[in-house]
Amino acid sequence: MERREFLILGLVFTTSAYAQMFQTVPEANATLIQSGKDKYACPNCGMHLVKFYKTSHTHENHQYCSIHCLYEVTQGVIPEDAKVVDTITLELIDVKKAFYVVGSNVKGTMTRTSSYAFGSEKEAQNFISNNGGKMMNFQEAYAVAAEDFPEDFGKKATASTVVPVTKIEVPKDAKCPICGMFVAKYPQWVALYDGDKKFYFDGVKDMMKYAYARKLSSDKFYVSDYYKLSKLEASQAFYVIGSNVYGPMGNELIPFATQEEAQSFARDHNGQKVIAFDEITEAMVKSL
Ligand SMILES: [Zn+2]
Ligand SMILES: [Zn+2]
């Protein structure tokens, strides 16, 4: 396939995948406070701010895609100056005046526990009647965002550097073609398509979406062993689904080199099932 045709296909797929997202608004309705080439990107994860607009937060002249990225940047120090998008009016409002609905069944950004803000308490109540969730103030919602970051978050990467392994090397500026996120930030989730051109993904889920959209054969896909970070042929790995460990884009298929390791991880982390590559289905990927 010619490169140009390939790029156009990519664009069409990306646009249609985003079209169903609750967070996305027409660009004309979005208030973006950054300028220049950084205008559209979350400075923490690289995701597109118009596509994830309704969960966007600002702090010190930066605009983040979500309370998750705001938390990651501020590291537990509550940002007094932060603003959040009002889900109804789409304007930026002071977080201290916002009514957050946390844990509704409307999908969130970068997290499994979604969080949407409202300037009006009545609108927040309305949202809860339709979609569930709990009303919170900013401090409470920020505390919930902290739960995305497990206490042992940095330990695995440190341990793995002791044992030399062949990893998937990710260029610093590589972005996932499905969600637009910078991939190098999430080494234990990296997946790769090594075809005419290389594409990097922030998780197996987005890799599979890419494979299904283009009907690509499995032999050019690679994943990273979750604990060792070693590069595995996707078709040879074993995957845990339904565990309590979440990737940068939420629920994931978590890869391991051996079935035993996958099973042991599943036991420790409430995994629902261990499956082989052939058992992954498009419906399963969509439901994650
Ligand atoms: Zn972000
Ligand atoms: Zn992605």
The per-residue pLDDT for 76 is 84
pLDDT digits (tens, 9 = 90+) for 188-204: 899 999 998 999 999 99
| Residue 11: Cβ-neighbour burial (10 angstroms; 0-12, 13-18, 19+) | exposed
pLDDT digits (tens, 9 = 90+) for 15-64: 444 457 899 999 999 999 999 888 999 998 888 999 999 999 999 999 99
Distance between CA 192 and CA 3 in Å, rounded?
18
Q: Residue 253 in contact with residue 266, Cβ under 8 Å?
A: no
- Cα 176 to ligand 1 centre (Å): 13
The residues facing 64 across adjacent strands are 57
The per-residue pLDDT for 125 is 97
Instruction: State the ligand closest to the CA atom of 199.
Output: 2
- Block residue for tokens 């967070």: 23
pLDDT digits (tens, 9 = 90+) for 117-155: 999 999 999 999 999 999 999 999 999 998 888 664 433
- Cα 111 to ligand 1 centre (Å): 10
- Among residues 260, 282, 159, 142, which one has the least CA distance to residue 214? 282
- Cα 230 to ligand 1 centre (Å): 26
Amino acid identity of residue 242, one-letter, is G
- Cα 196 to ligand 1 centre (Å): 29
- Cα 67 to ligand 1 centre (Å): 8
Residue 13 predicted with pLDDT over 90: no
- Cα 43 to ligand 1 centre (Å): 7
Q: Picking from 27-31, 176-180, 245-249, which range would have the lowest pLDDT averaged per residue?
A: 245-249
The per-residue pLDDT for 166 is 87
Question: Which H or E run contains 128?
Answer: helix 121-131
- Cα 1 to ligand 1 centre (Å): 33
Q: Residue 24 in contact with residue 50, Cβ under 8 Å?
A: yes
pLDDT confidence bin for 165, thresholds 50/70/90:
low
